[in-house]
Structure 1
Amino acid sequence: MARPERPLEPDGTPLIDFALRLRDLRASRGLTYTQLAARSNYSVSTLQEACAGRRLPTLDVAIAFATACGADVEEWRAHWLHAHRAVAEAADTGRVAPTVAEATDLGQPSGPPGPPAVRDAAQEGDTVPPGTAVSAESRWRLRTRLLALASCGLAALATTAALLYSGHKSPSVDFASATVQNKVAFGASGFSEDTTPVYLSSRTVSRCAARGCEVAGTEMWSGAKVVVSCWRTGEKLTNEDVTSAGIERNPYAFSSDRWYSVLWKDGRHGYLSQVYVDADSRGTLGLRRCT
C-alpha cells in the first residue's frame, strides 16, 4: 500500500515552494507516482522524496519528473536553478533553519525535534519572560512564520508591480527562457536559417570559433530554448547580409550590442548575442544587468 503523502503548508521557503510546485504539476496531470516512475525511470521513493520538501531534488530528477508530466523542460530547469540559488543564499546567510537532509526514509520525521521539557511559547503566541529558556524549535518556528509573512508582503509588492508594468515583461526576475533564432536577413524581405549553428561564447565578441572563445559543445539551431540569467553590453552584431540589395527595408533585420548570460544544460555558462534570439526574447526580459 502506498504511504500517504505528508501535507505541506506554504511557508515562503524554497524547498517547500519547489515541492509544492512538483505536487501541483503531478496533480494537474492526474498521474500516480507509479505512473511517473514508469515514465521517468526513477523509483517511486525517489519521486516522492522530491515532493517531500525536505531537500531539493537533483536537477536530473526534477527534469525527469517534469518530462514525465509533459511539462516544459526549460521552464522547470529555470525553476530548479532559482530554487537552488535561493537555498544556497539562505544557507550562506543563515536565514532558514537547516532541513533534515540526512533523512532518506520517507517515514522519518522531517521537522526538527523540540525538547519536551520546554514550553513552546513561540508556537502558542505567549510572551517569554526575561531569562526564560526558549527551545530551538520555538525559534525555528518563529523565524519560519516571520519569513512566511515577509514572503506574503513581497508577493503583494510583486502583484502591484505586475499591474504597474502591465503589457511589459515581469521586472526583477532571476531567470527567463529565450528562443534561439539563427537566421539571416537578406534583400528587402528574405529571412532564412543560417548555414552554420550559433553557439555560446565565453566573451561578448563575434567569431569566437576563430578567436578561441567558443564554449565547446553548445551549438544550436533556431527553435532551441535556453535559460538566461542576466544581460550585458558587448560587441555589436547584426543578422543582416549587408551586401544584399534592399536590406535597409528588410523588416527582419536586427542589430544589437546586448548579450544574454546563458546557463547551459550541464551547468556551464556562456554568452549569446540577442541577434540570435527571436523578437519576443529580446530586451531585458525583466532580468538584472550582469555584474
Structure 2
Amino acid sequence: MARPEQRLVRDGTPLRELAFWLRDLRTGTGLTYAQLAVRSGYSVSTLQEAAAGRRLPTLAVTLAFARACGADQGAWQCFWTEVRRAVDTGASVAPVPPWSAGTVGRPEQGRTGEPDRPEGQGRPDESGAPRPAGKRRPKVTRTARIAAASGLLLLVAVGVPGGLWLASTPDRPHHRDFASVVVQNKVAIGPTALLEDKTPAYLSSETISHCAARDCKLTGTEMWSGAKLVVFCWTRGEKLTNEDITSTGITRNEGGVSSDLWYGAKWKDGRTGYFPEVYLTPAGRGGSGLARCSG
C-alpha cells in the first residue's frame, strides 16, 4: 500500500531539488499518485520514491512522471542529466532547471488558475509604506537614444497609463530616463540557499502582493529568473520579502532581502505596471538612478 507523501525540506541539494520540482509538477496538474500511476505505467510507490529526495530516480521513471503530467520531456531529460552529474561529482548545490533559467518554457502543468506566490514568500510586512498620492497628469511621450556596443539602439517610452509619470521639478537633479534590470525570481531558504520560486514573477497594476488573486496582475507578463525588464521610475508600496521566513537559519541568509521599493516598468507590448525590487538581481535594486514615480 502506498504511504502518505512525507514533507520535503528544500535545502538546495541536487536530489532535494529534483524531488521538489517533481512534486511541484504533480501538484500543478492536480493529479493524485494513483492517477499518475495509471498514466505513467509505474506503481504509486515507485513514483512517490522518485519524488522523495532520498536517491536519484532512473531517467525512465523521471520522464514517465513528466510525460504523465504533460511536461516537456526534453527539458526534464536535460535537468535529470545535470542532477546526475551533480550527484556523481559530489556537488552540494543543484543545477538550475531549464524552465527557470529562461532557456525553454516551463513545463505545462495544466494549472486551472493563475499562479501566485505560496504563503510565506513575498508576503507584505505590516510596516510597509503606502503608495504616495499624487495628482494625475496627461500622458507623457519620451524618446531616448542610447549608444549600444552593436550600434545605435532606439528606445521609445510611449504614453504611460494609470498615472505613472516621472516627477519633474526645476530643482530635481538629473536622473536616468530608464534602466534595464534583470529578474531574480528566487526565494531565500535556510542559511544559504537561494532557489527559483515555484511561481513566476509578473507586473501588477498596484504595488501590493498576491495580485494574481487580487485582480491586479497584468496578464501575460510572467517572468522567470534571467528575464530583462525596462524600468523608468520607482515608488513605495507594500513591503515584501524573498525569504522563506519559516525555514531554519533564514536570518543568516545573505541572499534574503526585504524592501518596499517598486519600479514602474514597461512590458514589451507597451503596457506598464509595477515590479518589486526584491525579485531583481542586487545590481538592479536601490532605484537604479531613476526618478520617483508620481501619480
TM-score of the superposition, structure 1-length normalised? Answer: 0.45
TM-score of the superposition, structure 2-length normalised? Answer: 0.44
Task: Report which of the two structures shows the higher radius of gyration computed on alpha carbons.
Answer: 1
Higher helix proportion (structure 1 or 2): 1
Q: Which has the higher contact order (CA 8 A, sep 6+)?
A: 2
Higher strand proportion (structure 1 or 2): 2
